[in-house]
Amino acid sequence: MGVRKMREELKKIGFGLVAVGLCLALLASACIPQVAKAEPKEKMIKIGLRGLFTGAVASTGVPYCTGTIDYFRYLNDVHGGVNGIPFKILWEDNGSSGVREVSTHKRFKEAGVVAEITYLSLGAEVTTRAQQRDEIPLVSFSYLSDICLTYPIRWVFGGVQTWNSESATAIEWAKGNWTEPRPLRVGIMIYDHPSGWTAIDGIPDYCAKVGVEYIGYEVVPILGCIDATVELLRLAAKKPDWLLFPMCGASFVTVMKDADRLELQEKGIKLCCTVSALDKVYIDIVRKGAENWYVIRHIPAAWETEFPGTKAVREAAKRYRGQQPREIPELYVGGWIGGTIMMEAVRLAIEKVGYENLTGRSVRDGFASIKGFDNGIVLPMFMSDDKPWCIDYVRMYQVQQGWAVPISEWIKKVPPPELGSLVIKK
188 and 262 in a common domain: yes
From the list 212, 304, 298, 199, the residue with the least C-alpha distance to 252 is: 199
- pLDDT digit string (tens) for 292-317? 999 999 999 999 999 999 999 999 99
Q: What is the DSSP letter of 40?
A: P
Query: Distance between the two ends of the chain, CA-based, in angstroms?
Result: 100
209 and 186 in a common domain: yes
- Answer yes or no: is pLDDT of 233 > 80: yes
- Answer yes or no: is pLDDT of 14 > 90: no
In a domain, residue 321? The reply is yes
> Mean pLDDT over residues 384-413, rounded?
95
In a domain, residue 3? The reply is no
**Phi, then psi, of 4 in degrees rounded to 5:** -60, -45
In a domain, residue 401? The reply is no
Sorting pLDDT into bands at 50, 70 and 90, what band is 98? confident
Calpha distance 339→316 (Å, rounded): 13
Q: What is the DSSP letter of 117?
A: E
Boundary residue ending a domain (277, 297, 317): 297
* pLDDT score recorded for residue 258: 97
- pLDDT digit string (tens) for 185-199? 999 999 998 888 999
* pLDDT score recorded for residue 40: 57
From the list 226, 227, 207, the residue with the least C-alpha distance to 217 is: 207
At position 26, the amino acid (one-letter code) is: L
In a domain, residue 411? The reply is no
Contact 304, 310 (CB under 8 A): yes
- Answer yes or no: is pLDDT of 392 > 70: yes
Contact 368, 383 (CB under 8 A): yes
Report the run of H or E that residue 186 belongs to, with start and end.
Answer: strand 185-191
CATH of the domain at 233: 3.40.50.2300
- pLDDT digit string (tens) for 237-257? 999 999 999 998 889 999 999
In this prediction the pTM is 0.86
Task: Tell me what the pLDDT averaged over the chain comes to.
Answer: 90
In a domain, residue 416? The reply is no
Helices and strands in the chain: count of H runs, count of E runs:
13, 13
**Phi, then psi, of 264 in degrees rounded to 5:** -65, -40
* pLDDT score recorded for residue 295: 97
Domain count, the chain: 2
177 and 113 in a common domain: no
Boundary residue ending a domain (297, 314, 343): 297
Q: Encode burial over 332-349: b for 16+ CB neighbours within 10 A, e otherwise.
A: bbbbbbbbbbbbbbbbbb
* Cα 160 → chain centroid: 9
In a domain, residue 335? The reply is yes
In a domain, residue 410? The reply is no
241 and 197 in a common domain: yes
Is residue 152 reached through a cis peptide bond, with omega within 30 degrees of 0 on the bond before it?
yes
> Mean pLDDT over residues 96-114, rounded?
93
Distances (CA, A) of 356 to 81, 90, 164: 16, 20, 41
Distances (CA, A) of 297 to 103, 104, 313, 394, 408: 32, 29, 18, 5, 11
172 and 209 in a common domain: yes
* pLDDT score recorded for residue 24: 39
Q: What is the DSSP letter of 206?
A: H
At position 392, the amino acid (one-letter code) is: D
- Answer yes or no: is pLDDT of 15 > 70: no
Calpha distance 53→59 (Å, rounded): 8
286 and 169 in a common domain: yes
- pLDDT digit string (tens) for 341-353? 999 999 999 999 9
Burial label for 254, CB within 10 Å (0-12, 13-18, 19+), is buried
* pLDDT score recorded for residue 13: 44
- pLDDT digit string (tens) for 38-89? 455 789 999 999 999 998 888 888 999 999 999 999 999 999 999 999 999 9
339 and 293 in a common domain: no
Contact 398, 294 (CB under 8 A): yes
232 and 214 in a common domain: yes
> Mean pLDDT over residues 408-421, rounded?
93
Calpha distance 373→229 (Å, rounded): 45
Calpha distance 71→82 (Å, rounded): 12
At position 68, the amino acid (one-letter code) is: T
* pLDDT score recorded for residue 153: 96
- pLDDT digit string (tens) for 125-143? 999 999 999 999 999 988 8
- pLDDT digit string (tens) for 157-188? 998 889 999 999 999 999 999 999 999 999 99
Calpha distance 365→224 (Å, rounded): 41
Calpha distance 7→192 (Å, rounded): 99
170 and 287 in a common domain: yes
Contact 127, 113 (CB under 8 A): no
Contact 181, 412 (CB under 8 A): no
Boundary residue ending a domain (254, 271, 297): 297
Please state whether beta strands 213-220 and 242-245 pair in parallel, antiparallel, or not at all (unpaired): unpaired
290 and 306 in a common domain: no
Calpha distance 263→261 (Å, rounded): 5
Domain that holds residue 267: 164-297
Q: Encode burial over 267-283: b for 16+ CB neighbours within 10 A, e otherwise.
A: eebbbbbbbbbbbbbbb
In a domain, residue 353? The reply is yes
> Mean pLDDT over residues 352-379, rounded?
97
The number of beta carbons lying within 10 Å of the beta carbon of residue 169 is: 21
Calpha distance 91→238 (Å, rounded): 46
- pLDDT digit string (tens) for 311-345? 999 999 999 999 999 999 999 999 999 999 999 99
Contact 410, 393 (CB under 8 A): yes
**Phi, then psi, of 42 in degrees rounded to 5:** -65, 135
- Answer yes or no: is pLDDT of 151 > 80: yes
**Phi, then psi, of 219 in degrees rounded to 5:** -125, 135
> Mean pLDDT over residues 224-241, rounded?
96
186 and 104 in a common domain: no
* pLDDT score recorded for residue 419: 93
201 and 137 in a common domain: no
- Answer yes or no: is pLDDT of 119 > 80: yes
